[in-house]
């Protein structure tokens, strides 16, 4: 049993507690939260300078792309980035596996406890079986030709079931509105079952996506036509979110939202990956439109980021928004846990096992802060 205290305890369930104390058992479960250390008699209290917050939730990652780290420092737009991702198979299985292990170690060191992870393969299975982190595995499906929809869903089902058979959460999810036909979207809806808590979709990452749906023209249209994509993709949809009528998800996390405007917003979760946005598009979302109640944060993969660190992402959001420190921590912890259904994480509440991070150097801004995993 440990009693852990710091200058501030950000429970994210109630107001921050100055000099509050967490009582935690050997399994990381919160047994009690004390407002005052004087309430505790005859126990050794570990005191830290800084603030304590729950473990971070990385709401969007592609762990299986970790080996594409450092191929380029930045790219000029989305199509150049896709060229990097297309090289993913040109590496040995050992090299890929080693990069995945290194990336997970980095996340653990940076105080991340749970991940919403996009999977096109089972490359990450071996690491995930060790259960060092909680993973929500989004088995990503995409296909732009109607006649291949069945093949696409069968491939995704095989991968989903491998994860599920290893006692890992897995849901088949659409890659994006522009890369999934209405046919395939219907199949994704049809195979969804009670084990699917939520979905995740790349949304409005480029302005070309908006031009495709709103104006039926532009680079994406030319590209899709050049590969003989089924025109229902853009003809049946008037915006990036029109697919909601097809999939009808209870919950979904819209990821990126770099070109999302206030009128586009739905009553759903939104995830921002600011460093990846700068890497790929050199543009950030307009944070003034997002509520701090349903915005979460992800790192995206090491193919488009130099690190997997939520505190670094929060520092970048802070520089480009008006969120308070408490709101930023909610974005980094509580909202991602809610969005992905990790009910044991995200806040300090009795009975939860959220992990404990110590943040130091946060007084003026998060820019020079650092994180240490305490539990
Ligand atoms: Zn992504």
The domains of the chain are located at: 1-54+348-375, 56-345
In this chain, the answer to whether the domains covering 1-54+348-375 and 56-345 adopt an identical fold is no
- State the distance from the centre of ligand 1 to the C-alpha of 15, rounded, in angstroms: 33
Mean pLDDT, residues 151-158: 98
- Whether 78 shows a pLDDT value over 80: the answer reads no
User: Can you tell me whether residue 13 is helix, strand or coil?
Assistant: coil
- The Cα 10–Cα 253 span in angstroms is 25
CA-based end-to-end distance of the chain:
12
- State the distance from the centre of ligand 1 to the C-alpha of 123, rounded, in angstroms: 16
Measured in whole angstroms, the distance separating CA 265 from the mean position of its chain's CA atoms is 18
Q: Which residue in this structure is represented by tokens 């097809």?
A: 246
Is residue 289 within 8 A of residue 260, CB to CB? The reply is yes
Is residue 355 within 8 A of residue 27, CB to CB? The reply is no
- State the distance from the centre of ligand 1 to the C-alpha of 344, rounded, in angstroms: 25
Q: Which residue in this structure is represented by tokens 């040109």?
A: 90
- State the distance from the centre of ligand 1 to the C-alpha of 118, rounded, in angstroms: 7
- Name the residue among 21, 128, 3, 117 with its Cα closest to residue 60: 117
- State the distance from the centre of ligand 1 to the C-alpha of 203, rounded, in angstroms: 10
- State the distance from the centre of ligand 1 to the C-alpha of 308, rounded, in angstroms: 13
- The Cα 269–Cα 138 span in angstroms is 15
- The Cα 58–Cα 153 span in angstroms is 26
* CATH classification (class only), 1-54+348-375: mainly beta
- State the distance from the centre of ligand 1 to the C-alpha of 117, rounded, in angstroms: 9
Give 71's pLDDT tier (boundaries 50, 70, 90): confident
Is residue 163 within 8 A of residue 170, CB to CB? The reply is yes
User: Can you tell me whether residue 2 is helix, strand or coil?
Assistant: strand
- State the distance from the centre of ligand 1 to the C-alpha of 32, rounded, in angstroms: 38
What is the pTM (predicted TM-score) of this model?
A: 0.97
- State the distance from the centre of ligand 1 to the C-alpha of 136, rounded, in angstroms: 14
Is residue 355 within 8 A of residue 54, CB to CB? The reply is yes
- State the distance from the centre of ligand 1 to the C-alpha of 138, rounded, in angstroms: 11
Instruction: Give the percent of the chain with pLDDT over 90.
Output: 92
- The Cα 212–Cα 339 span in angstroms is 28
Mean pLDDT is lowest, of 13-27, 87-101, 211-225, for 87-101
- State the distance from the centre of ligand 1 to the C-alpha of 137, rounded, in angstroms: 13
Give 84's pLDDT tier (boundaries 50, 70, 90): confident
- State the distance from the centre of ligand 1 to the C-alpha of 62, rounded, in angstroms: 6
Mean pLDDT, residues 154-166: 98
- State the distance from the centre of ligand 1 to the C-alpha of 80, rounded, in angstroms: 15
* Structural tokens at position 267: 């009553």
- Tens digits of per-residue pLDDT, 189-202? 999 999 999 999 99
- State the distance from the centre of ligand 1 to the C-alpha of 204, rounded, in angstroms: 12
Exposure string of 157-174, with b = 16+ CB inside 10 Å and e = fewer, is: eebbebbeeeebbbbbbb
Q: What are phi and psi of 149, to 5 degrees?
A: -60, -45
Give 149's pLDDT tier (boundaries 50, 70, 90): very high
- State the distance from the centre of ligand 1 to the C-alpha of 46, rounded, in angstroms: 39
Give 2's pLDDT tier (boundaries 50, 70, 90): very high
CA dihedral angle for residue 363, residue 366, residue 367, residue 373, rounded to 10 degrees = 110
- State the distance from the centre of ligand 1 to the C-alpha of 59, rounded, in angstroms: 10
- Whether 81 shows a pLDDT value over 90: the answer reads no
- State the distance from the centre of ligand 1 to the C-alpha of 61, rounded, in angstroms: 6
- State the distance from the centre of ligand 1 to the C-alpha of 60, rounded, in angstroms: 6
- Name the residue among 134, 138, 130 with its Cα closest to residue 113: 134
- State the distance from the centre of ligand 1 to the C-alpha of 129, rounded, in angstroms: 22
- State the distance from the centre of ligand 1 to the C-alpha of 140, rounded, in angstroms: 10
- State the distance from the centre of ligand 1 to the C-alpha of 202, rounded, in angstroms: 6
- Whether 82 shows a pLDDT value over 90: the answer reads no
Mean pLDDT, residues 6-10: 98
Q: Which CATH number fits domain 56-345: 1.20.1280.50, 3.20.20.140, 3.40.50.2300, 3.40.50.720?
A: 3.20.20.140
- State the distance from the centre of ligand 1 to the C-alpha of 130, rounded, in angstroms: 24
């Amino acid at each position: 049993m440990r009693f852990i205290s710091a200058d501030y305890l950000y429970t994210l369930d109630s107001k921050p507690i100055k000099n509050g104390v967490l009582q935690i058992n050997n399994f990381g479960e919160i047994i009690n939260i004390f407002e005052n250390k004087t309430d505790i008699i005859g126990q050794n209290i570990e005191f830290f300078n800084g603030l304590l917050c729950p473990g971070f939730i990385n709401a969007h990652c592609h762990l299986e792309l970790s080996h594409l780290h450092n191929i380029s420092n930045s790219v000029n737009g989305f199509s150049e980035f896709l060229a990097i991702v297309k090289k993913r198979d040109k590496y040995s299985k050992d090299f890929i596996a080693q990069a995945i292990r290194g990336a997970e170690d980095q996340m653990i060191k940076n105080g991340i406890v749970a991940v919403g992870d996009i999977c096109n393969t089972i490359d990450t299975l071996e690491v995930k079986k060790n259960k060092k982190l909680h993973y929500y595995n989004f088995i990503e499906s995409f296909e732009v030709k109607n006649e291949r929809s069945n093949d696409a869903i069968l491939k995704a089902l095989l991968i989903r079931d491998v994860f599920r058979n290893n006692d890992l959460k897995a849901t088949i999810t659409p890659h994006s509105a522009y890369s999934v036909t209405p046919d395939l979207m219907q199949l994704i809806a049809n195979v969804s079952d009670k084990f699917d808590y939520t979905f995740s979709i790349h949304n409005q990452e480029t302005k070309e996506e908006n031009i495709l749906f709103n104006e039926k023209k532009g680079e994406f249209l030319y590209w899709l036509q050049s590969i003989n994509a089924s025109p229902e993709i853009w003809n049946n949809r008037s915006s990036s979110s029109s697919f909601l009528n097809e999939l009808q998800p209870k919950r979904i996390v819209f990821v990126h939202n770099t070109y999302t405007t206030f009128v586009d917003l739905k009553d759903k979760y939104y995830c921002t990956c600011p460093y990846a946005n700068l890497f790929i598009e050199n543009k950030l979302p307009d944070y003034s439109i997002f509520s701090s109640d349903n915005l979460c944060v992800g790192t995206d993969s090491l193919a488009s980021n130099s690190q997997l660190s939520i505190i670094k992402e929060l520092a970048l959001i802070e520089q480009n928004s008006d969120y308070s420190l408490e709101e930023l921590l909610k974005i980094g912890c509580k909202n991602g846990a809610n969005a992905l259904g990790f009910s044991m994480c995200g806040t300090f509440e009795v009975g939860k096992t959220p992990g404990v991070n110590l943040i130091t150097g946060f007084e003026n801004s998060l820019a020079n802060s650092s994180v240490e995993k305490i539990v």
